[in-house]
Amino acid sequence: MRSPCVKLLHRVGCSKEAEYLLRSNLLVDERGPALYVELFGTAKQEEFSAAMAAFAVQFSATLKGGGSRGFFERGYQTKPRGAFFSKFRLRNQPCVVSFEYGGKDFIDAELWGLEDEDQLLFFRWVNGVWEFIGAGITTEVSDGGRKAKR
């Protein structure tokens, strides 16, 4: 991807498309991060940061050792303490959570257990709240003493 393509899209009124194109290709364009801020500001970055902070609060999951795999992709170690995670056997268990601003208008998070790597949960940032959107195919769910595969 070349920076002039993004600038052209932005100039001719296709800002939303230009923003998504640049955001999804920031790692292959050496000018990506600087150009992103120049054309689109920091609003998406601020929303991304706010979403990660809200995850920590909403699920009582302190985020440690953040690793960046890109401008809009981050991974952290955590031990979620929220009651929601009990049925997935992930409450107070070591996990990794990865945040990604991958889609055009949404931020996703994947949380997987480090002790039982089959436990995988998916979340989406919707209207300022993290919503559970699904589990991995082999994720076990406990429902009042019973276990079921999802």
Same domain for 61 and 128? yes
Q: Which domain holds residue 97?
A: 45-149
Same domain for 61 and 124? yes
Same domain for 76 and 125? yes
Q: Which of 9-13, 34-38, 69-73, 95-99 has the lowest mean pLDDT?
A: 69-73
Same domain for 102 and 52? yes
pTM equals 0.79
Same domain for 118 and 76? yes
Same domain for 18 and 78? no
pLDDT in tens, 110-123: 999 998 778 999 99
Average of per-residue pLDDT across 23-52: 77
As for how many domains the chain has, the answer is 2
28: which residues sit within 8 A by CB, 6+ positions away? 1
The top-scoring range by mean pLDDT among 1-10, 21-30, 95-104 is 95-104
